[in-house]
């Protein structure tokens, strides 16, 4: 296995160490995904996958292959989730630092649990852990019902050890525990913080998705999702401040 280094994530994209890893990943990706060399992969696109796996070329290649497979198989519901994740992954700082997410399971019913079988659990864990170029630094569940735990026990064997260690269940007492993992300034008052309220935060995010609509359409239609190749709208053109 090629040993990676998280420190490379913070180097300029045109630096020699970064470019060396990009060249290696491009060669491996062309061999794995494009033996006829019909496709091309831009530096910016490949760097996302390298950053997500601390510049370990083997793991970055696996992530890229899974991502392309997932794009070809995703459902309409998955495509909506994909849009959100892709916009999150646009920002360089997010690629470097990773993300922590909070899932509010209030209203999650027993009928939802009955829809989950081992095959679906495996697919969920695959998408969550190894199908998108983001570092998942923490998964925080709040308001999870008692019967959620048996469901999670079915999902858990399919998760990588790192992800297992980063799942935290807070129950209904999350006001006391979320601040152990998130700065109070980032949490909404509804979650015991001092940041923008949930309604304001959701409106900001909706605006961001709407601003990125053209880019997301082109990514969805592109063969590999790498719109930096050719005369496509680039991410730099879409990255504008969110205005309310």
What count of other Cβ atoms lies within 10 Å of the Cβ of residue 7? 10
Instruction: Please report which residue ranges of the chain form alpha helices under DSSP H.
Output: 16-33, 43-52, 57-73, 76-89, 92-97, 110-114, 118-130, 148-155, 161-165, 174-177, 198-211, 213-221, 235-238
- The alpha carbon of residue 153 and the mean position of all alpha carbons in its chain are separated, in whole angstroms, by 23
For residues 116 and 44, which has the higher predicted lDDT (pLDDT)?
Answer: 44
Q: Is the pLDDT of residue 31 over 90?
A: no
Half-sphere exposure of 99 (CA within 13 A, CB side): 22
Identify the helix (H) or strand (E) that includes residue 138. Answer: strand 136-142
pLDDT digits (tens, 9 = 90+) for 58-77: 999 999 998 888 777 765 55
> Which DSSP state fits 103?
E
Q: Is the pLDDT of residue 229 over 80?
A: no
Q: Is the pLDDT of residue 179 over 50?
A: yes
Distances (CA, A) of 215 to 50, 150, 244: 22, 40, 20
Pairing verdict, β 167-171 and 136-142: parallel
pLDDT-derived band at 243, boundaries 50, 70, 90: very low
Check if 6-73+223-232 and 76-209 are the same fold: no
Architecture of domain 6-73+223-232 in this structure: Orthogonal Bundle (1.10)
pLDDT value of residue 151: 79
pLDDT value of residue 14: 94
pLDDT value of residue 211: 87
pLDDT value of residue 143: 93
For residues 238 and 104, which has the higher predicted lDDT (pLDDT)?
Answer: 104
pLDDT-derived band at 79, boundaries 50, 70, 90: low
Kindly report the average pLDDT of the chain as a whole number: 81
Q: Is the pLDDT of residue 25 over 90?
A: yes
Q: Where are the domains of the chain?
A: 6-73+223-232, 76-209
pLDDT digits (tens, 9 = 90+) for 150-163: 878 877 887 888 88
pLDDT value of residue 164: 87
Tokens standing for residue 187: 């949490």
Q: Compute the distance between CA of residue 217 and CA of residue 165 in angstroms, rounded to an integer.
A: 35
pTM (2 decimals)? Answer: 0.78
pLDDT value of residue 38: 63
Domain covering 76-209 in this structure, CATH number = 3.40.525.10
């Amino acid at each position: 296995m090629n040993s990676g280094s998280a420190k490379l994530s913070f180097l300029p994209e045109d630096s020699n160490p970064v470019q060396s890893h990009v060249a290696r990943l491009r060669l491996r990706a062309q061999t794995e995904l494009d033996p006829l060399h019909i496709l091309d992969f831009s530096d910016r696109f490949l760097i996302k996958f390298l950053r997500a796996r601390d510049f370990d070329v083997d793991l970055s290649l696996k992530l890229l292959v899974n991502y392309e497979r997932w794009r070809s198989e995703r459902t309409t519901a998955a495509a909506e989730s994909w849009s959100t994740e892709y916009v999150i992954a646009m920002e360089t700082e997010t690629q470097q630092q990773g993300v922590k997410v909070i899932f509010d399971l209030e209203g999650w019913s027993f009928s939802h649990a009955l829809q989950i079988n081992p095959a679906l659990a495996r697919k969920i864990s695959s998408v969550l852990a190894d199908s998108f170029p983001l570092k998942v630094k923490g998964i925080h569940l709040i308001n999870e019902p008692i019967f959620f735990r048996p469901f999670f026990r079915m999902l858990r064997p399919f998760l990588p050890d790192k992800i297992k260690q980063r799942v935290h269940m807070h129950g209904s007492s999350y006001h006391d525990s979320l601040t152990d993992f998130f700065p109070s300034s980032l949490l909404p008052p509804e979650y015991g913080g001092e940041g923008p309220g949930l309604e304001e935060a959701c409106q900001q995010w909706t605006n961001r998705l709407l601003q990125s609509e053209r880019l997301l359409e082109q990514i969805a239609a592109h063969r590999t999702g790498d719109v930096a190749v050719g005369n496509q709208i680039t991410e730099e053109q879409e990255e504008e401040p969110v205005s309310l």
